[in-house]
């Protein structure tokens, strides 16, 4: 799949933002007044920034309100609805802390739960797609939740949780890669079933329907850069998980914490790039590609 | 609405005969022509005369080489457009309700005025039947020519999809699969019409008729052109010419 910048930024940043709101809602940090305002501003910057980035992916963003209507069937719609509800609930919780100096605990808990659901809905946009066997796996939502938890705890300075969640996110990432690598082969779809003309060994794509490229190939049969996948995977793990853990284990310092966060975000960007670039869509089978 | 109808009154669709299709791409062109001039925004081309040509098509013809266990390889031309699936994943993923399946006839359509161009429906289709138009920024797909099949202003013989009307070899058939006595239902039953990627669970309406096995004698001697000429005792003018030419230097008399 084509690794569109807008979608990589969207999933990475909003994951971290809702991860932060999760920890804030649980009351792990209970800031008040101006400090509370700053904490919420940072969390919203990530969550909302990510959501805004996602609209750059739309060809007609002026009609985006329509995307809130089909939550009964569409995970993309559910994601939008959940994100807005979460932001509203957490805004009310935040207003209590900032202006009244009061913590409405249940509002916070509700916001935390909604944050988890929002990240889950984001992951399901991809995990629901039967056409991309690499994504359609239980490890996809788990990995998205793992990264959001790791990022959120890191950003809110929950060192113990961050250490555990970073390690967990790393393991879930490995699981997603391991299961994903054989997914297309195990999916049961091949050029034989795609054409109905025989077994995969008997059918060969002889001539494509067009001499140039087209939307399908650009969007769904993206194979550029796959050859660097192995190195990028290692880089992503080192930056996203390894280095932040080392930095957290070192004696605490604001500079080190900032470095850990920066490194983590770069690592997650790399992981998300791979998540798209390495994903094989079954339509590639019609072109004799994967 | 993106909730799929439990069942549709009619199931309009195509039967595509892989045995008959000669891969002329006429259906591709007539589809592009009709659907650029009619329903919805045009099917755009970008850099049409430059090095990086690309364009939107609702119907495309692939070609495959198939090697059976015995006998020579076959070349199969393979037209592909929206199959108007009964469990259409492209419809349920759409966040805006722009994609929908009609209860009356089962046709899967896009309401271009509501489409935000997110592209998710194209991701959800296993067959590559949806293309986001580069210029209009909305999702395009086969409409089964709704603006022909119900168009009373057209002569009766033109009230079928453009591709079916155009196909010179009769490889494309249009009809109602809900009616067991329709042309398409009968063809499907007689010729073993099949689903593409049934494992994807989309339950396509369109059916493909498999190519029939070739009834060739088996042996084709590739050395045939190098055989000796059959007639060695030519008579009349040809015989005389043969004798004269053979007598020349380099002849083989
Ligand atoms: S062929 Fe693709 S676009 Fe057409 S109904 Fe089926 S899934 Fe949807
Ligand atoms: S591109 Fe348009 S029709 Fe397709 S899912 Fe998005 S809004 Fe719906
Ligand atoms: S017009 Fe008919 S014969 Fe020509 S490519 Fe289309 S289906 Fe095949």
Residue among B3, B68, B195 minimizing CB distance to A72: B3
User: Which two structure tokens, joined as six digits, stand for A126?
Assistant: 């991809």
Atom 6 of ligand 2, nearest CA residue: B118
Q: Which residue of chain B has the CA closest to A215? A: B131
B157 Cβ partners below 8 Å, 6+ apart? B165
Q: State residue A228's pLDDT score.
A: 84
Write down the pLDDT at residue B232: 66
Q: Nearest by CB to A131, from B68, B126, B208: name it.
A: B126
Q: Which residue of A lies nearest to B130 if distances are taken between CA atoms?
A: A216
Helices (H), B113-200: 120-124, 146-149, 162-166, 183-191
Query: In this structure, which residue's CA is closest to atom 2 in ligand 1?
Result: B125
* Mean pLDDT, residues B59-77: 91
User: What pLDDT score does A31 carry?
Assistant: 86
Reduced to 3 states, what is the DSSP secondary structure of residue B108? strand
Helix (H) or strand (E) holding B142: none
Nearest to B197 among A1, A80, A282 (CB): A282
**Strand B59-66 and strand B54-55: pairing?**
unpaired
| Mutant choice from A72, A81, A127, A212 vs B, greatest count of B C-beta within 10 A | A212
Query: In chain A, pLDDT over 90 holds for what percent of residues?
Result: 78
Q: Which segment of A69-73, A114-118, A179-183, A212-216 scores lowest on mean pLDDT? A: A212-216
Cα dihedral sign, A163-A169-A173-A178: positive
Q: Is residue B157 exposed (0-12), middle (13-18) or buried (19+ Cβ within 10 Å)?
A: exposed
Average pLDDT of span B173-186: 96
Instruction: Specify the pTM.
Output: 0.90
| A contacts of B63 (beta carbons < 8 Å) | 205-207
Q: Are the Cβ atoms of B137 and A59 closer than 8 angstroms?
A: yes
Does B18 contact chain A (CB < 8 Å)?
yes
Q: Considering only alpha carbons, which residue of chain A is nearest residue B52?
A: A212
Q: What is the mean pLDDT of residues A168-192?
A: 95
B219 band by pLDDT with thresholds 50, 70 and 90: low
Per the listing, tokens 């083989």 go with B252
**B140 three-state secondary structure:** strand
* Residue of B16, B19, B25 best suited for mutating to test ligand 3, as the one with most atoms within 8 Å of CB: B25
Domains and CATH numbers, chain B: 12-209 (3.30.70.20)
Distance B58 CA to ligand 3 centre (A): 14
């Amino acid at each position: 799949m084509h690794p569109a910048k807008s979608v990589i930024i969207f999933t990475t940043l909003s994951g971290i933002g809702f991860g932060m709101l999760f920890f804030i809602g649980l009351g792990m940090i209970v800031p008040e007044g101006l400090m509370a305002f700053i904490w919420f501003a940072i969390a919203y910057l990530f969550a909302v920034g990510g959501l805004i980035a996602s609209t750059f992916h739309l060809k007609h963003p002026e009609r985006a309100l329509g995307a809130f209507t089909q939550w009964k069937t569409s995970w993309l719609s559910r994601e939008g609805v959940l994100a807005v509800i979460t932001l509203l609930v957490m805004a009310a919780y935040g207003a209590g802390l900032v202006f009244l100096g009061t913590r409405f605990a249940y509002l916070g808990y509700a916001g935390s739960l909604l944050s988890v659901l929002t990240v889950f809905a984001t992951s399901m946009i991809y995990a629901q797609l039967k056409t991309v066997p690499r994504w359609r796996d239980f490890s996809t939502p788990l990995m998205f939740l793992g990264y959001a938890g790791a990022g959120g705890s890191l950003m809110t300075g929950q060192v113990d949780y961050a250490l555990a969640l970073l390690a967990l996110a790393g393991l879930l990432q490995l699981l997603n890669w391991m299961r994903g690598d054989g997914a297309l082969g195990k999916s049961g779809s091949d050029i034989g079933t795609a054409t109905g003309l025989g077994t995969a060994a008997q059918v060969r794509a002889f001539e494509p329907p067009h001499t140039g490229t087209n939307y399908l190939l650009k969007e769904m049969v993206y194979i550029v850069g796959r050859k660097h996948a192995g190195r990028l995977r290692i880089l992503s793990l080192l930056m996203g998980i390894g280095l932040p853990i080392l930095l957290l284990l070192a004696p605490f310092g604001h500079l080190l914490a900032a470095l850990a966060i920066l490194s983590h975000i770069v690592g997650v960007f790399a992981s998300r790039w791979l998540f798209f670039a390495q994903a094989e869509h079954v339509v590639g089978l019609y072109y004799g590609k994967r | 609405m993106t909730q799929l109808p439990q069942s549709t009154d009619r199931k309009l669709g195509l039967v595509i005969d892989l045995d008959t299709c000669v891969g002329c791409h006429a259906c591709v062109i007539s589809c592009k022509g009709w659907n650029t001039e009619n329903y919805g925004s045009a099917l755009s081309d970008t850099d049409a005369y430059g090095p990086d040509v690309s364009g939107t098509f609702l119907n495309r013809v692939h070609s495959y080489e198939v090697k059976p266990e015995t006998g020579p390889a076959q070349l199969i031309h393979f037209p592909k457009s929206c199959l108007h699936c009964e469990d259409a994943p492209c419809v349920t993923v759409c966040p805006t309700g722009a994609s929908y399946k009609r209860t009356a006839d089962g046709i899967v359509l896009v309401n271009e005025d509501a489409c935000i161009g997110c592209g998710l429906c194209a991701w959800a289709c296993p067959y590559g039947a949806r293309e986001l138009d580069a210029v209009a920024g909305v999702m395009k797909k086969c409409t089964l020519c709704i603006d022909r099949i119900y168009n009373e202003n057209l002569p009766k013989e033109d009230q079928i999809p453009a591709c079916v009307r155009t196909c010179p070899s009769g490889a494309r058939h249009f009809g109602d699969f809900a009616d067991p006595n329709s042309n398409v239902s009968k063809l499907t039953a007689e010729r073993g019409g099949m689903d593409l990627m049934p494992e994807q669970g989309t339950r396509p309406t369109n059916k493909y008729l498999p190519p029939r096995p070739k009834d060739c004698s088996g042996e084709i001697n590739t050395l045939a052109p190098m055989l000796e000429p059959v007639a060695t005792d030519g008579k009349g003018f040809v015989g005389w010419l043969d004798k004269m030419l053979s007598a020349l230097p380099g002849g083989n008399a």
